[in-house]
A and B are shown apart, each in its own frame.
Chain A
């Protein structure tokens, strides 16, 4: 019955937004379109980027550390952007037993 877990695949999203106070012309353009839509009460629009990915790692902490490194080094330019990592769940691959 005991399933030996060899590796797990962890899915994440990295949500990247312009840093607070950084010019966001796309967000401003969206805001300026709101009156045309007849929508009131919406503000502070920020337009960013979302990257989804899967990581094979022995555990969730190791997977997250890899994603953090990727986000810092490539996905996000820390001078102008900030990121937040969002776990999207894991899929475990079992070698034997009833795993699923």
Chain B
């Protein structure tokens, strides 16, 4: 049976259809989850897509956090459910406190929309197990508030615990410095995505669903979405395959 993966739809979401399309390509049956419903309909994973939920009023993700669907997602995450936030979805998860840190206005003050290179720091998570070791991934970013921020102690702890999941990489594959063009928004420590402590909630600013077909430039995003769909399927079957990573598997 095809595994059902939910895609949350907020007023202002604009990557929900692309995300559903890419999830279907990754082998899932996508299920739209309307923001006013507090019921996730028994899906095996939830994706919060990109866009401008509630018009990004106040701060990106600030209003979405209080929607009925997010109450359900918070409970789902607390029970170990797989949740992936992409771009605005990452901002929502950070505002909701389901992921650490905050996404600030890009250092350039410009909306940045172009391909970037990221690396996954570890491949033992439900979101990255399909990514070949050390493989640089090309996918687009499209955001105005993507500058990852957390205080120094939090950044140190995230690195120590292997919870920096994705980094912007320069041409040499090294983490892109704050002022490098390869770091599109000035994120601290080149952080493009993070993982929660339990390893079942992740968020990233780049768009894997926009890198889902080689004809359109890159299908590297499929490595992440296939990882998620396979992990969701394993969980739906009750298996441990692709399960939560352990802190001991920490990457750099």
Residue numbers of A with Cβ under 8 A of B are 22-23, 25-26, 29, 49, 74-75, 77, 79-80
Residue in B58, B63, B109, B150 whose CB lies within 8 Å of A26: B109
**Which residue from B58, B102, B104, B106 sits with its C-beta under 8 Å from A74?**
B58
CB distance from A56 to the nearest CB of B (A): 21
Report chain B residues within 8 Å CB of A77: 59, 62, 95, 102
B66 and A74 contact, CB distance less than 8 A: yes
Question: Which residues of chain A come closer than 8 Å to B147, judged between CB atoms?
Answer: 23
Measured CA separation A48–B158 after assembly (Å): 28
Name the residue on A nearest B105 (C-beta): A25
The A interface, classified by DSSP as helix, strand, loop or mixed, is mixed
Evaluate contact between A25 and B102: CB separation under 8 angstroms.
no
Q: Is the pair B62, A23 in contact by a Cβ cutoff of 8 Å? A: no
Any A CB within 8 A of the CB of B108: yes
Least CB distance, A33 to chain B, in whole angstroms: 12
Residues of B with C-beta under 8 A to A23: 104, 107, 147, 149, 186
Q: Is B101 an interface residue (CB 8 A)?
A: yes
* Residues of A contacting B58 in the complex (Cβ-Cβ under 8 angstroms): 49, 74-75
- Neighbouring A residues of B149 by C-beta, 8 Å: 22-23, 79-80
| Residues from chain B with Cβ under 8 Å of A26 in the complex | 105, 109
Q: A22-B104, A80-B149 are in contact. List 12 more A-B contacts (CB 8 A).
A: A23-B107, A23-B147, A23-B186, A25-B106, A25-B107, A29-B109, A49-B58, A74-B62, A74-B63, A77-B62, A77-B95, A79-B151
Chain B residues engaging chain A, CB cutoff 8 angstroms: 58-59, 62-63, 66, 95, 101-102, 104-109, 147, 149-151, 186
A44 to B151, CA, bound (A): 21
The 10 A-B pairs with the shortest beta carbon distances in the complex, nearest first, are A80-B102, A79-B102, A25-B109, A25-B107, A25-B105, A29-B109, A77-B102, A23-B104, A77-B59, A80-B149
**Complex Cα–Cα for A75 and B62 (A):** 8
* Cα(A20)–Cα(B139), bound, Å: 34
Query: Could you tell me the distance in whole angstroms from the C-beta of A43 to the nearest C-beta in chain B?
Result: 19
Q: Output the least CB separation between B73 and chain A (Å).
A: 18
The complex places the Cα of A54 from the Cα of B147 at a distance, in Å, of: 34
CB of B190, distance to nearest CB on chain A (Å):
15
Residues of A within 8 A of B101 (CB): 79
Q: Which residues of B contact A22 (CB under 8 A)?
A: 104, 149
Q: How far is the CA of A25 from the CA of B104 in the complex (A)?
A: 9
Q: How far is the CA of A77 from the CA of B101 in the complex (A)?
A: 10
Docked Cα-Cα span, A77 to B150, in Å, equals 12
A-chain residues with CB within 8 Å of residue B59 when the two chains form the complex: 77
